[in-house]
Amino acid sequence: MQELVRNLQNISFFSNFSPTLLSILVMVAGGVLIATVLAINALVLVYLERKVSAWMQDRLGPMEVGPRGLLQTLADAIKLLQKEDIVPAAADKPLHLMAPLLAFAAPCAAFAAFPYARNIVFGDFNIGVFFVIAITSLTVIAILLAGWASNNKWSLLGGMRAAAQIVSYEIPAALAILVVVMQVGSLSFQDISLAQDGGIHKWLIWHYFPFNLIAFVILFIATLAECNRTPFDLPEAESELVAGFHTEYSGFKWSVFMLTEYAEMLIVAILSSVLFLGSWSSPIPGFLNSGAWGMFWLLAKAFALIFVQMWLRWTLPRLRVDQLMYLSWKVLTPFAFVCIFAVGLWMLV
C-alpha cells in the first residue's frame, strides 16, 4: 500500500497531493475496483459454469445471446435488476436487507489482504493469513441472518446447516494452513509468496512429501465446503430445502448471494494458490516472472482450481448431513493434525 502510494507520488500529476489524501484515493479506488472485479468475476464464472457443465453432459450450454452465448450472463444480470423484490410480510425486514450487504462486504474485505504480484498488494498485513480466515467467517453470520430473518422453515434449516457446516470445516482448513505457516515462519502472504519464488520446484505443495500434498487436499476440500459448493451444498439443497437460506430472496437480493458464492470461490482458489501453488511466481524460473505478470500467474492458478471446483460439482452427488460431519471431524481434522505433527518432526530432524 505505502509502496503503491510512493510510486504514485513519482507521477507528476499526483506529486502535490499529500500522502494521506493519496492513500485514501488509492483505498477508495481499490475498493471500487475490487467490487467491480467481483461482479465481473461472477458474470464470467456463471457463464463458465454453464459451459463446463454443458460440455461435461455433452450439451452446448448457452448459445443464443451474443456469440456462443457470451452475453447470456450479462442479460441475466440486467433481468435480475428489473425483477420485483419481494420481502415476505412475516420476515424481519431490516435483517432481511442486512444479510446480502454483509454477505458481499466480507469477501470484498478479504481481497485487501492478497498479494497480486511482487509489488502489488493493497494491505500487506503481517497477519494476512489469519485475517483472511477471520473475515471469510463473517459469511456465516450473513447466511444465518438470511435464514433467520426470512421466517421460513426451509431458510432456518438451511441457515443452521450452513452455520454447522462452515464452522466445522473451518477447523481442518485452518489446520492445513498452519502447516504452511510452520514452514515459512510468517503469517504474511507476501512472505509466503517470496518463499516460493523461483520455479515450480519451490512450490510448497512438493515440500515434505506427502504431508504438504495432503494438507493441500484437506484445504481444498474444507474450503469447498466453506463456499457451500456441491458436494457440500446442503444449506441450499434444492431437492429438500427448496433453496435453503435464500428461499425468500428474490430479484437483485437473490443475485447478491450468487455473487458472494462466486466471490468466495475466487477467494479460496487464490488462498490455495498463494499458500501451496507458488502464489504470483511463474512456474518456470525467470520466465515472465516480473511485475504485473504476477497477476496473470496468480489468476491462472486460481482459475485452474476453480475449474476443478466446477468439475467436482458436476461429478459428485451431494453428501448427507451426517456424512458431512463425519468427513470434517473424523477424517479431515485428524489428518490435518497428523500433517502438523509430521511436518514439525521433519523440520526438527
Partner 1 sequence: MLFDFSVAFTFFLIGAAFIGVNLLISRMLQPRHPTAGKLSTYECGEQPIGQSWIQFNNRFYVIALIFLIFDVEVAFLFPWAAVFKKLGLFAFVEMVVFVAILLVGLAYVWRKGDLQWDKPETGKYARAAAPEFYSETPAPAITPKEELVSEPV
Q: Which residues ranging from 210 to 249 are in contact with partner 1 (CB under 8 A)?
A: 242, 247-248
Contact with partner 1 (CB under 8 A): which of 43, 324, 332, 339?
324
Coil/strand/helix, residue 121: strand
Q: Which three cell numbers stand for residue 284?
A: 518456470
Among positions 177-206, residues that touch partner 1 (CB under 8 A) are 178, 181-183, 185-187
Which residue lies nearer to partner 1 by CB, 289 or 333?
Answer: 333
Distance in angstroms (rounded) separating the CA atoms of residues 324 and 338: 20
Give the separation between CA 142 and CA 163, rounded to whole angstroms. 10
Please give the Cα distance from 287 to 293 (Å, whole number). 10
Q: Which one of 66, 123, 199, 283 is in contact with partner 1 (CB under 8 A)?
A: 123
Q: CA-CA distance, 348 to 245, in Å (whole number)?
A: 47
> Rounded CA gap, 184 and 194, in Å?
10
Where are the alpha helices (H) located in 199-292, listed in sequence order? 211-226, 238-241, 251-276
Among 72, 168, 228, 309, binds partner 1 (CB under 8 A): 168
Residue 327 DSSP class: I
Return the residues of window 42-71 that contact partner 1 according to CB under 8 A: none
Q: Which stretch binds partner 1 (CB under 8 A): 205-213, 266-274, 287-295, 336-344?
A: 336-344
Q: Is position 338 an interface residue for partner 1 (rule: CB under 8 A)?
A: no
Q: Which stretch binds partner 1 (CB under 8 A): 7-15, 62-70, 156-164, 225-233?
A: 156-164
Q: CA 22 to CA 31: how far, in whole Å?
A: 14
Regarding 40 and contact with partner 1 (CB under 8 A), the answer is no
Binding of partner 1 by 105 (CB under 8 A): yes
- Residue from 31, 66, 199, 283 touching partner 1 (CB under 8 A): that is 31
